[in-house]
């Protein structure tokens, strides 16, 4: 098997790390097998802290056996190679095992956040052509509303029946280029697009994983994130690379609270963590200060933290923060590794080993010290295969051998990259990328709304929050009650993090001569 991991023997600089790295990716590869069967059976895979605080451990032998049996059960339900299956579950053993089982079948997993409401689920399940959904009791009602008639497997007795099924004889012999998972990412116009990823994307994540986490794995490492495994950050920045390396992952059944998070990491002796910027800011705001943590490194990304936050983490948590950058289509391509190259506050870091990242102008020329579009050289193993059923959007994503991120930034003379703004107006809130188009479509479903536009506005804790500008239908009066009603409408149809924190009633929306809404003008209102 190919193993494009970093060799740190004798490596002392960023330059030598880059020069010593080369990709080695096998033609045949299956993530489900690599993250279970190929691991030491008796090694701990998952440490589970339940709602009552009780702790249990699952080893790789059980993960392998469960995923083989669940795969057999899914096959008996008619799931075949290439089929898409939705997973609407929080962090859990069942979530992880379902992913592995689907990959072993050659099927495609579709992680979907429990945050999504019925509208958000309905679009993704329909667009992907999902054949089945695995969910739990908490999400059952909205999944049924979102996809009436779609076969369901509910955790508990039904899932246990899958786990009691005759195991598959062997995993599907998949190529590295075969599709493995489909994650939807939001854009500024229209509905979200599905980024289809291959089995080889795991290899593409490994250099970033090792750099962010200061050359994990090391003996005794335990990694944790509060991020949902339905997002690429939780799934591919933590769970799957960790299991590829045979590392133990921690999961806890608890909503994120600053002091609870610190207690959890101390009690369980967590050494590595992926903590989104919003969660770190919440911990700082709560006055969290600990000397009993065993953290070696914290990875974060999604928005710049700044010098004060970096200093706070080192002083109050005793941990180095390594920031990084990527997106659902092309993850973990820029970042820091503080033990090898200096962290510059406010910078996303430098291009990671194996990835070529540049700032390009509209003509495709490379820029230094000037603002342009953050772009990644193609091909790259971490890149998506395509946007699902969107050949036009896939084509637009690339230009002259570069993937265009749609984000603007600056590269300095030492290769450090600095994020400036989002070219396509995607809103970055609490580490989530929110597409205004989906919120606008939800608002337009309310009978009082004639027109609307959504933009991101600055927020001290969340980075950005959605703000809605609404033109009401004739005869509808403005009121505080209606503002709340519109917010509740979005909350029940989409997800809590997509709810407009501010609703402003306007007589009309500013537009260009071609009729497009001028979002920049709205931000100034």
For residue 191, what pLDDT is reported? 77
Specify the 3-state DSSP secondary structure of 239. Answer: helix
Residue with tokens 């992913």: 99
What is the pairing mode between strands 132-135 and 84-88? parallel
Q: What is the pLDDT of residues 491-514, one digit of tens each?
A: 999 988 899 999 999 998 887 544
Q: What is the pLDDT of residues 239-248, one digit of tens each?
A: 999 999 999 9
- Is the per-residue pLDDT at 6 higher than 90? no
Of the pLDDT bands very low, low, confident and very high (cuts 50, 70, 90), residue 186 is low
Task: Report the range of poorest mean pLDDT among 69-73, 389-393, 494-498.
Answer: 494-498
Rounded CA-CA distance 320/317 in Å is 9
State the average pLDDT over residues 417-446. 81
- Is the per-residue pLDDT at 1 higher than 80? no
CATH class of 427-523: alpha beta
For residue 159, what pLDDT is reported? 93
For residue 462, what pLDDT is reported? 86
State the average pLDDT over residues 470-485. 94
Average per-residue pLDDT for the chain: 92
For residue 427, what pLDDT is reported? 83
Q: How far apart, in Å, do the first and last CA atoms of the chain sit?
A: 57
Q: What is the pLDDT of residues 250-303, one digit of tens each?
A: 999 999 999 999 999 999 999 999 998 888 988 888 889 999 999 999 999 877
Rounded CA-CA distance 44/245 in Å is 12
Secondary structure (DSSP) of 401-445: TEEEEEEEEEE-TTSEEEEEEETT--EEETTEEE-HHHHHHHHHT
For residue 385, what pLDDT is reported? 98
Of the pLDDT bands very low, low, confident and very high (cuts 50, 70, 90), residue 311 is confident
- Is the per-residue pLDDT at 8 higher than 60? no
Q: What is the pLDDT of residues 117-126, one digit of tens each?
A: 999 999 999 9
Domain over 58-199 is classified CATH 3.40.50.980? yes
Task: Report the percentage of the chain scoring pLDDT > 70.
Answer: 96
In 3-state terms, the chain is what percent helix, strand and coil (to 5)? 30, 25, 40
State the average pLDDT over residues 317-322. 92
- Is the per-residue pLDDT at 352 higher than 60? yes
Task: Report the range of poorest mean pLDDT among 142-156, 349-363, 438-452.
Answer: 438-452
Burial of 52 (0-12, 13-18, 19+ CB in 10 A): exposed
- Is the per-residue pLDDT at 188 higher than 50? no
Of the pLDDT bands very low, low, confident and very high (cuts 50, 70, 90), residue 75 is very high
The continuous run of DSSP H or E covering 486 comes out as helix 480-493
**HEC per residue, 119-135:** HHHHHHHHHHCCCEEEE
State the CB neighbour count (10 A cutoff) for residue 425.
21
- Is the per-residue pLDDT at 189 higher than 60? no
Backbone angles phi, psi at 438, to 5 degrees: -70, -40
Rounded CA-CA distance 399/338 in Å is 33
State the average pLDDT over residues 389-403. 96
State the average pLDDT over residues 412-441. 82
- Is the per-residue pLDDT at 478 higher than 70? yes
Kindly give, in sequence order, each residue whose CB lies less than 8 Å from that of residue 92, ignoring residues fewer than 6 positions away: 155, 251, 253
State the average pLDDT over residues 480-490. 95
Q: What is the pLDDT of residues 93-139, one digit of tens each?
A: 999 999 999 999 999 999 999 989 999 999 999 999 999 999 999 99
Task: Report the percentage of the chain scoring pLDDT > 90.
Answer: 76
- Two domains, one topology: 58-199 and 427-523: no
For residue 346, what pLDDT is reported? 84
Question: Domain locations in the chain?
Answer: 58-199, 427-523
Distances (CA, A) of 113 to 5, 301, 326: 30, 19, 19
State the average pLDDT over residues 46-54. 96
- Is the per-residue pLDDT at 62 higher than 70? yes
State the average pLDDT over residues 174-184. 98
The continuous run of DSSP H or E covering 204 comes out as helix 201-212
């Amino acid at each position: 098997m190919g193993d494009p991991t970093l060799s740190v023997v004798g490596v002392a600089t960023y330059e030598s790390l880059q020069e010593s790295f080369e990709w080695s990716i096998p033609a045949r590869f299956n993530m489900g097998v690599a993250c279970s069967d190929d691991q030491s059976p008796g090694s701990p895979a998952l440490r589970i802290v339940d709602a009552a605080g009780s702790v249990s451990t699952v080893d790789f032998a059980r993960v392998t056996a469960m995923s083989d049996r669940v795969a057999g059960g899914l096959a008996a339900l008619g799931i075949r190679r290439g089929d898409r299956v939705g997973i609407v579950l929080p962090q859990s053993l069942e979530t992880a095992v379902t992913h592995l089982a689907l990959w072993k079948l050659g099927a495609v997993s579709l992680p979907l956040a429990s945050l999504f409401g019925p509208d958000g689920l309905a679009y993704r399940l329909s667009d992907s052509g999902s054949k089945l959904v695995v969910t739990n009791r908490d999400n059952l009602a909205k999944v049924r509303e979102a996809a009436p008639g779609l076969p369901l497997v509910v955790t508990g007795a039904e899932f246990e029946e899958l786990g009691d099924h005759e195991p598959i004889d062997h995993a599907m012999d998949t190529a590295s280029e075969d599709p493995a998972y489909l994650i939807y990412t939001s854009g500024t116009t229209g509905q979200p697009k599905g980024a289809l990823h291959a089995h080889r994307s795991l290899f593409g994540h490994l250099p970033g994983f090792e750099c962010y986490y200061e050359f994990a794995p090391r003996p005794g490492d335990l990694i944790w994130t509060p991020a949902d495994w339905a997002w690429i950050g939780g799934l591919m920045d933590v769970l799957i690379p960790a299991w590829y390396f045979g590392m133990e992952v921690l999961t806890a059944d608890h909503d994120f609270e600053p002091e609870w998070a610190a207690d959890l990491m101390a009690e369980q002796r967590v050494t590595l963590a992926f903590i989104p910027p919003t969660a770190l800011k919440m911990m700082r705001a709560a006055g969290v200060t600990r000397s009993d943590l065993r953290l070696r490194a914290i990875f974060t990304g999604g928005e710049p933290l700044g010098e004060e936050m970096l200093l706070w983490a080192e002083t109050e948590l005793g941990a180095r923060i390594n920031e990084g950058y990527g997106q659902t289509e092309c993850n973990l391509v820029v970042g820091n590794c503080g033990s090898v190259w200096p962290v510059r506050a406010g910078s996303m870091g430098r291009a990671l080993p194996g990835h070529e990242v540049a700032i390009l102008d509209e003509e495709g020329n490379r820029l230094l010290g000037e603002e342009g579009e953050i772009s990644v050289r193609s091909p790259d193993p971490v890149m998506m295969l395509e946007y699902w059923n969107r050949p036009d959007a896939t084509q637009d994503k690339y230009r002259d051998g570069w993937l265009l991120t749609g984000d603007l930034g600056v590269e300095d003379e030492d290769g450090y990259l600095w994020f400036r703004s989002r070219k396509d107006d995607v809103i970055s809130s609490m580490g989530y990328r929110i597409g205004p188009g989906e919120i606008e479509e939800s608002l337009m479903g309310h009978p009082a709304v004639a027109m609307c536009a959504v933009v991101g506005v600055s927020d001290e804790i969340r980075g950005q929050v959605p703000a809605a500008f609404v033109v009401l239908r004739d005869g509808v009066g403005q009121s505080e009650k209606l503002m709340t009603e519109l917010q509740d409408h979005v909350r029940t149809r989409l997800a809590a993090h997509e709810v407009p924190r501010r609703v402003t009633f306007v007589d009309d929306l500013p537009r260009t001569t071609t009729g497009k809404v001028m979002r920049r003008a709205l931000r100034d209102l």
